[in-house]
Amino acid sequence: MGNWSLYLIWCGTAIAIAGLVVLTAVQGNILLAYGLIMVGLTLLICGVAGRKQTQTWLMTFWSRRSVQLGTNGFLSAIAMLFIWLSINGIAAQFPLRFDLTETQVNSLSSQTRQTIQTLKEPLKIWLFQEVDDAEVTPFLENYRRINSRIQYQFVDPDIDVRLIRRFNVQNRGEVHLEYGEKTQFVQTLAAEESLTEAKLTNAILRITSDRQPQLYILQGHGEPPLDDSQKGLVQMVKALEAQGYRVNALNLIQTPNIPADGDIIAIIAPQTALLPGEVELLQEFLDQQKSLLFLLDPNTDPNLDSILEQWGIGLDQRILIDGDRRSEQLGYGNTAIITTRYGTHPITKSLDDDISLYQFVRPIAVKPTAGIKANSFLLSDELTWAESQLPSPDATFDPATDLRGPVDFGIALESQYREDLELPKARVVVIGNTSLATNNGFSQYANGDILLNVMNWLDQNRDVSLAIRPRSPENRRLQLTTAQVNLIAWLGPVIFPLGGLITGLILFKKRR
């Protein structure tokens, strides 16, 4: 065995040297060189291991306790390294991310996910600035991870003049979308105005939509104006336009016809009765399988009974009272209803336990009607009741005239008389409250989400999933008093070290 070992050692050495010569002299035949080196090293190791002196030394070496412990430690380290690499590999293939922020600003909303998952063509996000000084790359990566068809690129506006002209860029920091042959301006990045999910997702909705639904808001009966006053509707209008709607006022006295392009008509807080001719036009609009939205205040009679009764709807003249006065801590009276309970319906299925707030609510009664499918999606809880008298701060429940909660005040209705359910159906939503649509109430809690989802459901021609609208980050600043600032200044250098020293002295004394 000794002679064979010597032969293997000499042959292995010679073959390994030949491989090194080939590697240095013949640059093109790298595989042959590495093959010779591997074969040579293998023979060399076998030859050395086959010698009796080597075997005796190895037996002595491995019998040492220090070597055994060192080997166990080395193998344990290799095993831990392998486990760590495996976990990282699995995490890279199946990433899990947790967002602990208040409004989930580091996660994409369900509406965004559903919107970008259904993209039929590649979507390119162009950012006209040479570097990411606004730090939007992690934000854009959230979109790209959900759909690889979404790509983004930073462009130096001083170099790529062709793209500047193509997108008609006017300012550094502009963000544009490209989807097929269509382009869409999103916004201009600035220190005080970063790119948010609300703006980007709404821009994607606009550029991917094949049509713009038309909403008409009825005017001429004391309804809230489409302006920025406290009881105006401009916030709702802007939110709808951001999602691709066209919104216009409609006065049936001045224009005694409903435009043919209308998809939805909203009747919001009329203070005087509609004329019979106007009611007939609304009925004809419904007969065309279109949609109507009614937001109606308590103690008003808009003369809409001829339409509502056909759909099984009755307007209760009472007003809801919160018997537990939960809204008083928010600065409202007992006529403000706070709810986290919603019916099972596409309008509210994504709200979970989100809070919504309504001031001055009238109950909506519904009775089964042939050919009409009705669902309650807004309702109060057991601590409320419908008050028959004028509300007062010390109102009490009268079982003879009042109605104990839960009480419905938001009903979604849909005609069911068509055999082919794929064809458009007339849809009606009746809500016994108007504050959620006004500038004062639209941005409160989930009010805006509910109203946008109502519009999306009424627009039955629009293929947009109902979900929570994208969130913008809340500005949460910690306001500290001078005493609190001084306390924090003393905590690190003085109080914590002193506490550790005292604890150590106490433990030392106990041990002695």
User: pLDDT at position 476, please?
Assistant: 60
Residue 170 has pLDDT above 60, yes or no: yes
Supply the pLDDT for residue 104: 64
Is the pLDDT reported for residue 310 higher than 90?
A: yes
pLDDT(57) > 90: no
Mean pLDDT, range 51-70, rounded to an integer? 73
Res 463: pLDDT: 43
Lowest mean pLDDT among 53-57, 127-131, 391-395: 53-57
What is the per-residue pLDDT for 14? Answer: 87
Q: Average of pLDDT values for 46-63?
A: 73
Q: In angstroms, how far is CA 333 from the centroid of its own chain?
A: 33
Provide the mean pLDDT of the chain: 85
Nearest to 429 by CA among 369, 465, 378: 378
Q: Could you tell me the CA-to-CA distances from 326 to 338, 377, 381 in Å, in that order?
A: 7, 21, 12
Q: Which whole number is the average pLDDT over 294-309?
A: 94
Mean pLDDT score, 321-338: 86
Buried (b) or exposed (e) across 224-242, using 16+ Cβ within 10 A?
bebeeeebbbbbbbebbeb
230-270: pLDDT as tens digits:
899 999 999 898 778 899 999 998 988 999 999 999 999 99
Task: Write the CA distances from 376 to 67, 85, 361, integer angstroms.
Answer: 76, 53, 15
Structurally, at CATH architecture level, domain 212-458 sits in: 3-Layer(aba) Sandwich (3.40)
Q: Any idea which of 19-28, 197-206, 441-450, 498-507 has the lowest mean pLDDT? A: 19-28
Domain ranges of the chain: 3-93, 110-206, 212-458
Number of helices (H) and strands (E), helices first, in the chain?
14, 18
Question: Given this model, what pLDDT does residue 2 score?
Answer: 54
Do 110-206 and 212-458 fold alike per CATH? no
Residue 433, pLDDT > 90, answer yes
Condensed to tens digits (0 to 9), the pLDDT of residues 443-481 reads: 888 899 899 999 989 987 654 445 555 555 655 666 667
Residue 43: in which H helix or E strand, if any? helix 30-50
Number of other residues whose CB lies within 10 A of the CB of residue 469 = 22
Give the whole-angstrom CA distance, residue 101 versus residue 427: 38
Flag whether the pTM goes above 0.75: no
Average pLDDT of 118-123? 90
pLDDT attached to residue 150: 94
Query: Which homologous superfamily does the CATH classification assign to the domain defined by 110-206?
Result: Glutaredoxin (3.40.30.10)
Place of tokens 């057991």: 382
